[in-house]
């Protein structure tokens, strides 16, 4: 008996729904329109940004602050693009009537300066941290692909007489380790990428990242709005799920960083 492709899609979708039902979930107001049941654990979530840097940081700050507000977990923030939204977290905390210093003390920052650093943090340092800190159960990797796909990385590989694809192979291997850690420890994992290239989905690294992610959310400005005062959230959930879209007002997430936060240090670094 030949099984129709539509039957396979229904079968996979049903299995996927049953899997997500067993996950721990956190309600994220910013993502409620596309994730009404909450943000699931044990499921790698990829957020693709097509936004200016300032808006990116505001959204990341909202996500981090909400995770800290709604749970008792610590956050491991792997900063792949030197974009940790320090000032924006303080503003988001004040907006939610929370104490910024207490929230910042629950963030463990790991800053990477090249793609080897990102690999080392995820494959070596992160497993050690998870073993000794049972409260570190949220992992946020910012701009993960940036370090692996830069012109500088390509130039270094050429100087070392290495294959230019080595960086992409290392990226894929690092993603595999991160996913294994997520499944073993039932982590909440978020990866952000700047989706500046229209053919991101067709690139080798981009295609693998999209395949690895369980939930994909693209956030962009509303092109139909002349004032661009709305954000468009598009959800693509694996497997065989239809895309869903919604809009939110930009004013709900836009924060303005201020210059009077020098006395609130971030005291926790992953070494």
Residue 201 has what pLDDT?
56
Q: How far is CA 7 from the centre of its chain?
A: 32
Q: What is the pLDDT of residues 47-99, one digit of tens each?
A: 988 888 888 888 999 999 999 999 999 999 999 878 898 888 998 898 888 89
Strand partners, 188: 138
All domains in the chain, ordered by first residue? 34-252 (3.40.50.300)
Collect all residues with Cβ–Cβ distance below 8 Å to 258 and sequence separation of at least 6.
87, 90, 91
Residue 212 confidence (pLDDT) above 70? yes
Residue 223 confidence (pLDDT) above 50? yes
Residue 197 confidence (pLDDT) above 60? no
What is the model's pTM?
Answer: 0.83
SS3 172: helix
Residue 30 has what pLDDT?
82
Closest-CA residue to 214 (of 37, 41, 5): 41
- Beta strands (DSSP E) in 103-214 are 107-111, 136-142, 188-194
């Amino acid at each position: 008996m030949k099984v129709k492709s539509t039957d396979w899609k229904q079968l996979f979708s049903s299995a996927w729904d049953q899997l997500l039902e067993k996950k721990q979930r956190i309600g994220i107001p910013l993502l409620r329109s596309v994730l009404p049941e909450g943000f699931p654990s044990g499921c790698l979530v990829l957020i693709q940004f097509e936004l200016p840097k300032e808006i990116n940081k505001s959204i990341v700050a909202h996500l981090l602050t909400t995770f800290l507000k709604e749970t008792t977990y610590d956050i491991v923030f792997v900063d792949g693009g030197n974009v940790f939204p320090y000032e924006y977290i303080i503003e988001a905390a004040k907006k939610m009537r929370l104490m910024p210093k207490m929230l910042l003390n629950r963030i463990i920052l790991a800053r990477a300066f090249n793609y080897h650093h990102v690999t080392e943090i995820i494959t070596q340092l992160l497993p050690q941290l998870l073993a000794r800190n049972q409260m570190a159960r949220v992992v946020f990797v910012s701009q993960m692909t940036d370090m692996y796909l830069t012109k500088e990385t390509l130039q270094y590989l050429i100087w070392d007489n290495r294959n230019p694809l080595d960086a992409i192979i290392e990226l894929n291997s690092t993603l595999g380790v991160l996913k294994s850690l997520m499944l073993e420890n039932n982590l909440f994992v978020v990866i952000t990428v700047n989706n500046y290239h229209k053919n991101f989905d067709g690139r080798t690294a981009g295609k693998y990242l999209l395949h690895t992610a369980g939930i994909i959310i693209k956030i962009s400005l509303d092109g139909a709005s002349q004032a661009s005062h709305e954000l468009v959230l598009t959800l693509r959930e694996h497997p065989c799920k239809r895309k869903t879209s919604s809009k939110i007002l930009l004013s709900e997430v836009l924060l303005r960083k201020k210059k009077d936060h020098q006395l609130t240090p971030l005291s926790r670094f992953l070494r």
